[in-house]
Every structure is written in C-alpha cells, then in structure tokens.
Structure 1
Amino acid sequence: MSNQLSGAAAAPGTTGAVRAFRERLGLPGLIDVHTHFMPERVLAKVWDYFDAVGPLTGTRWPITYRHEEQHRVALLREFGVRAFTAMLYPHKPAMAAWLNSWSAEFAARTPDCLHTATFFPEAGAGGYVRRAVEGGARVFKAHLQVGAYDPNDELLDPVWGLLAEAGVPTVIHCGSMPTPAKFTGPEPMARLLARHPRLPLVIAHMGMPEYTEFLDLADRHPEVRFDTTMAFTDFSERMSPFPDRELGRLAALGDRILLGTDFPNIPYPYEHQLAALEGLGLGDDWLRAVCHDNAARLFDLP
C-alpha cells in the first residue's frame, strides 16, 4: 500500500501538487479536521516531545512545518484547505479552560478555523464545556495518551452527556500509537459508548494500531467516525501497517471517514497524506467524500 512520496522537508511543489489533487477531483477545497494550533509556548513543548520521540519509537520525527502561527495559517490557505481545526489538549488540571479561551480568540480572528475546544477530568469540566458549546465551539479534542486519563472517569460524565445531547463531535486520540498508555485502546472507548451510544466521536489516526478493533466499534455505533491523520503514509506504514484485509471496510465506511493530517507536526510534506489516500485505490467518489463532503456535512458547511 506504500507509495513513492518521501521527504522530511516541505517540498517546493506542495501547493501545486495539492491544487492538482483538488482540481482532478473537482473539489472546492479540502476540509482538514486534525490540524494543530495552540498557544506558542504550549506548541513549543509539543514540538520538544516530537523531537525526543525518536528514542521511543526508533524513528525520527522531524517537524516539516515548524513555522510561526500566521505562516502556518497562510500555508493551509495556499493548499486550498477551506476549513481546519485548532486541535489542542491539556495534560493536567486547570489548563483546559485557559486553552479554550485561547482557541475561542483564535477562531474569532481566523474565520476558516472551526472553533475547537477541549476538556480534562476535573471538577467544573461540565461547566466550561457548556460555556464553550454556547460560545460556538464546533469540535472538541481529547487526547487520552497525553492526558493519561480514563474517558470513563466520572468527572467527565456531564461532559459526554452534554456533547451527546448537543451533537458536537470530539476528535479523540485513543489508539496506542506512537506509544501505548494505560487508557488507550478500544476497550475504554467501548465502555464509554455503551453508556453514551449517541456520542459523536471521531477516532483520530484511524485508531492505529488497533485498526480492526476500532472498525468493529464503528460497526456497532453509527456516530463513530475516523480521521485519516497519518494513516496509510509511508511513515506510519513502517510502524503500523493498515491491514489489507480491511480495505473493504474502509470503502463501506466511506461516509464516516474524514481527512486529517496532523499539520504542522508531520514528518513529510502535506501532499503525502493525500497521495497515501489516493494510493488505497478506493475511487474518486470515496476521495471526494473523505477529503471534503463528509466533513462539510458533519459541520454543516456550505
């Protein structure tokens, strides 16, 4: 399934390659549901983590788009990304509400960014999540690996109930890549969905490496979706190859898979994610749905 694109530096032809991809498919643009914008000092710490992740995984992880904020926004617009997110997440209590204040301000000055928010299992989480939803948050981000928390923590009960009732999706990193953690994997998510079956979740990174188990979960829960972030790329295929036997299920779930890239924290050019999706051979209709139409419908974009 691997393709021939490679390189850890931004290729000069990226804008042209992405434009050619969009034009061939007749897309008005791309919708990328997994891009990262956060306060600069927080992002610097995230980049420090990726700089050090090589010894953990045995694979270097250079940041291709290590630029200041406005440069990164401009790049996404040059690529023709018509809507994107500001995925951000706390790693400790008393941090999420502050991040939500920052992201609300970022969304206000960046109209093509879907207003993104986050949460942590702590007293008051239900209150600040409600305020974020009432303030226009369109999507939430949860990171079980970084936050090191159980999604079934009783402190999150009001959060999940509110998000299920409001129909606001959460992009959740719950798979065990790049390194397993205590609460990653499909079992905690299965327990969560047993209690909140209508909860709209977007499983980040296609759930890698537990692809099959998360696909099984989606079969049982129609509000479970996936983002493609880093999946199927040469980088991820070396560490956690997607099983060829599941390609048919990818096709069948084509209306519940959304483009995600992890921009700017990717160790290859942006167009490689698109080429990796095209390399699956699932057809142009599938690509149009994944790269634009599914997210446009989920977020009610014109």
Structure 2
Amino acid sequence: MTKNYILSTFAAIALGFVVSCDNTTEDPPNQNKNTTSGTTITGPRILSKVNNGTKDLEEYVTTGGALSQVFVRDAASSNTLTSTVTYSGTTISQIKIQDNVTPHVTDNTYALTYTSGKLSAFTMDQTVMGVANHSDFTVYYDANGVLYRIVEKKKMAGSTSYTHYTELKFTFSANNIVKADYTTMLMSGGTPTASTASTTSYLYENYDVKVNPYTTLPKEYFMVSSTMTQLNSYMLSANNVGKVTIQNPAGAAISYPKGYLYDSQNYPVSDQSQTIKYIYKPL
C-alpha cells in the first residue's frame, strides 16, 4: 500500500501535467503544423524548461550539457519533486528524488551500474515515513541492444526477503515506444506469484518525425524515472507522441491527443494552442 501511494502521488503530478500540455481538439492532431516565430537556436541545444505561462512545470538544470537537477512541479499546487544527479566522470552514478512535503512521501536514492557503457542495473533505497525499503532493478535489452524491460524486486520495511515484483516492458516500433506494460505482483520465497499480477498498459500512437526534446537530456535519467511514472515512457522515444492511451486493469481506456508547433530546426516549441512552451538553451 505504501508503494502504491508513492507511485500514485508522483503519477498524479505527471498526469496533471501531460493532460494540460495540449488543448488540441483535433484527434489525431495535425502534426504538420509549424511555427518559426521567436528566437531560434540553430546549433546544438538542450531542453531547459516546460512552461504553462504561469509556472515552469519542468525545469532541467544543466552545466555544459551535464544534467545536475530536475524540478517537476504540479500545475495546481506547490507540490514539487526535485531530482539531484551525481556523476562519476561523465556517467550518471546516482539520482536522488525527493518531494517537498514533511515528512517525505517520496525520498528515493538510486545508484546506477553500467555494463559495456549501457545502464544494466540500479538500486533504490527509499525512506517513507521513517520506514526503509530497498529495491534491486535489472535492465534488459533485446538481441539488437534495444531497451526491452526493467524488472524490480523490492524488500519492504527492512526485510531481508523480496516481497514485491514489478516489470516495465517496452514495445518499440523503429525508435519509438508504442506500448509500455507495467505489471505488479507479490513475491513468495523470492519468486513472483502470477496469481497476484495486475497490468496497466500505456499505448503511444501518431508519432511525428520531429525531434523529441527529451532526447537532448541523458536517457539514463528517464530510464530510472520511468519506473516511477510509467505513463511518461514516451519520453524515451526518438520522436513526439501524438496520442496517449491508458488501459488500467479494470474500466474503460482513457485517451488524449498531443500536438506541437515546431521551429525551423524541427524541435517542438509549444503545443498547438501555444499554452505549453518548450524552452531550450544553446550548448
């Protein structure tokens, strides 16, 4: 129950953001619309902020192209998640994600491990209301080296045995994620119990052929954060998603469109209503 509350809290912030990101009435939206108004960066760039006109909903703090902090702010409240990124050389070695409430509901520290230059595993140490939890994550790739799934085994409240299992499985079409299946189940004797499994699926459709702004940032950050906000798995895609559908274990599917206006370099600069702005800084 504690874990579900943590995930729900962060997902609620994320869902509030993504739904508000696009006031497009077209379904699917016309991804061919374009704008070249305003200052255009013609060289290398990195995503800096996503703004709704009154607040920076997302803020990515970088120095020399290296991501150091991320702020994710709820559009309707003062709730904020802060990620602090630590490096070993040029490689991300640790990510700490913490909310701004007392006591913390989200207080996660991730330690990352690489094999042949690719993220292969990470651990999470989590403190919730004074209770310590530990997770071990394994990252799997297919025979072509494409991200396939991320598996978590969790020990709750100081237990020495794994009690919870999650799997986030990705389906790609070319370089875009078209489906993410998030399955949770209990564990017994270190083995997942299939009879307790529950799966939520996220479908991503109508991709454009433009540049996804999140690809300007380290993919390892989004691989780790996707285990908290599975809805946002499309941030790992090469292009920009045009429609997102959420299929919970029970009930009707929920879908919403997303559309964009682009600059002359094929980067999104806003949604089609120009409410949400994507702000970059040059490298």
Which TM-score bucket, shorter chain as reference?
Answer: 0.3 to 0.5
Of Structure 1 and Structure 2, the greater helix share is in 1
Quick check: which has more Rg, 1 or 2? Answer: 2
Of Structure 1 and Structure 2, the greater strand share is in 2
Provide the TM-score with structure 2 as the length reference.
0.33
Provide the TM-score with structure 1 as the length reference.
0.31
